[in-house]
């Protein structure tokens, strides 16, 4: 990925769902104008979801998700359908693909589920070049689901442009309005970034939240300076006046807070991403659950990344150490990564999620809703560290 590319997690996620051989993969190829997905007459060609980052005019940067048929069967088929359901949690706009089969109960169930999750849904009748009476099939679908499908042919490309228009009309009103730095900075502000270059930072590079934050600050015409923890004092002394905002790595929250000028606002990359990807108010309220933990409690720590464990890893080492120091050494802490997020969360007294720079916001919000439904508080790395450091009420959220 180049520096000019929009990260996948920040792109509009468009999921294509339907039965096997309804033409989902052919539809993706027609939408993109490329052979993006493998096409075959054999039912069940698509196994795991395929994520393709694209720039599509007039939609812009997006991710198209080609999924396995939700009517797949057998033991392997059930696993494929589960992967399709996981992809649905990441979907911002869903395209439901129909063919001329009159049994559309499964399509109706998926549309109802997407509507329940407030995911805009577009119905598409594919293979119009092969259907004997496409108008009658379209009328039947509209009468059954209360939504008129877009009639298309992936082969001839008829109707494809209508999909672009429908997607643009389905964009949420606040789409693209969410920013990393929110209201904490203004144009022309001096922003000091405190970025420890430890074992978790890729050699010769910055971690993704730092890169994305720097890019946004530059776009917002801020004056951006950077420092490591060991030269923070010298960096502050070199400035004619204190920085308007200091953004730090959460791991050094307390030490930076102790040194920051009184007039400088303080936050962390993880806290910023808590608001950008999740629900910062809910995370802040949930952090209070830490004070009710005891040695019989159970905590789940969830990482979006699937990197190999590192020495002094914030999620696997530092946060558990801080929690056990406060609560007791017998506190039970489970750690999951990637898409391994339990369906049953009721055995946990608290969930602590990473900043989720690798996930899109829809996917993070689906996890928050799952936690809420099961009455389990859920917070975020940076928010938790700020709470444990006694400075949560003193930082910018």
pLDDT in tens, 45-93: 555 788 888 888 888 889 999 999 999 888 888 899 999 999 999 999 9
**Looking at residue 208, what is its pLDDT?**
85
Average pLDDT over residues 216-221: 95
The string of DSSP letters for 363-385 reads HHHHHHHHHHHTT--EEEHHHHH
Question: Is the pLDDT at 150 greater than 60, yes or no?
Answer: yes
d(C-alpha 219, C-alpha 201), whole Å = 24
Helices 381-388 and 319-327, packing angle to 10 deg: 40
pLDDT value, residue 3:
43
Q: Where are the domains of the chain?
A: 8-170, 190-272, 287-394
pLDDT at 8: 81
For tokens 């259907």, name the residue.
131
Q: What is the mean pLDDT of residues 154-183?
A: 87
Q: Closest by alpha carbon to 99, among 156, 152, 31, 162?
A: 152
Confidence of residue 40 (pLDDT cuts 50, 70, 90): very low
Residue 32 in contact with residue 54, Cβ under 8 Å? Answer: yes
Topology (CATH level 3) of domain 190-272: Rossmann fold (3.40.50)
pLDDT at res. 304: 87
Fold of 8-170: Rossmann fold (3.40.50)
Listed in sequence order, the DSSP H helices in the chain are 24-32, 74-89, 105-116, 134-145, 160-170, 208-219, 232-238, 253-259, 269-277, 280-286, 319-327, 361-373, 381-388
Identify the pLDDT of residue 164: 93
In this prediction, residues 8-36 reach a mean pLDDT of 87
> What 8-state DSSP symbol labels residue 47?
-
Q: How would residue 357 be classed by pLDDT, with cut points 50, 70 and 90?
A: confident
More confident site: 50 or 16: 16
Report the Cα 178 to chain-centroid distance in Å: 13
Nearest CA to 87 out of 344, 395, 360, 389 is that of: 360
Question: Would you state the pLDDT for residue 201?
Answer: 55
Q: Summarize the confidence of residues 161-180 as an average pLDDT.
A: 85
Radius of gyration of the chain (CA): 24
Residue 198's pLDDT band, with cuts at 50, 70 and 90, is: low
What CATH class is the domain 287-394? alpha beta
What are 299's two structure tokens? 């905590």
pTM score of the predicted model: 0.83
């Amino acid at each position: 990925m180049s520096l000019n590319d929009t990260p996948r997690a920040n792109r509009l996620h468009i999921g294509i769902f339907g039965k096997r051989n309804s033409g989902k993969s052919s539809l993706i190829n027609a939408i993109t104008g490329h052979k993006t997905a493998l096409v075959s007459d054999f039912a069940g060609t698509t196994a795991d979801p395929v994520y393709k980052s694209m720039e599509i005019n007039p939609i812009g940067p997006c991710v198209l998700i080609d999924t396995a048929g939700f009517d797949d069967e057998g033991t392997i088929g059930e696993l494929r359908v589960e992967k399709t359901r996981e992809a649905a949690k990441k979907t911002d706009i869903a395209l439901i693909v129909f063919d001329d089969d009159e049994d559309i109960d499964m399509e109706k169930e998926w549309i109802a589920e997407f509507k329940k999750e407030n995911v805009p849904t577009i119905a598409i009748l594919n293979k119009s070049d092969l259907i004997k009476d496409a108008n009658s099939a379209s009328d039947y679908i509209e009468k059954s689901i209360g939504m008129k499908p877009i009639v298309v042919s992936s082969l001839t490309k008829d109707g494809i442009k209508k999909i672009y228009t429908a997607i643009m009309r389905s964009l949420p009103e606040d789409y693209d309005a969410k920013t990393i730095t929110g209201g904490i900075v203004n144009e022309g502000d001096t922003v000091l970034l405190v970025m420890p270059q430890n074992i978790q930072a890729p050699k010769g590079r910055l971690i993704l939240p730092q890169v994305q934050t720097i890019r946004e600050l530059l776009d917002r015409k801020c004056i951006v300076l950077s420092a490591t923890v060991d030269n923070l004092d010298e960096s502050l002394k070199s400035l004619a006046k204190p920085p308007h905002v200091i953004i730090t790595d959460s791991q050094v929250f307390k030490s930076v807070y102790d040194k920051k000028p009184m007039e400088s606002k303080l936050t962390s990359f993880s806290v910023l991403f808590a608001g950008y990807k999740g629900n910062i108010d809910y995370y802040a309220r949930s952090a209070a659950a830490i004070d009710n933990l005891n040695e019989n409690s159970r905590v789940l720590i969830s990482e979006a990344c699937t990197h190999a464990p590192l020495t002094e890893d914030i999620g696997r080492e530092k946060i558990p150490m801080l929690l056990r120091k406060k609560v007791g050494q017998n506190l039970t802490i489970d750690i999951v990564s990637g898409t391994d997020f339990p369906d049953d969360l009721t055995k946990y007294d608290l969930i602590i999620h990473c900043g989720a720079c690798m996930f899109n916001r829809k996917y993070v919000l689906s996890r928050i809703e799952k936690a809420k439904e099961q009455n389990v508080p859920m917070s975020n790395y940076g928010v938790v560290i700020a709470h444990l450091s006694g400075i949560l009420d003193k930082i910018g959220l």
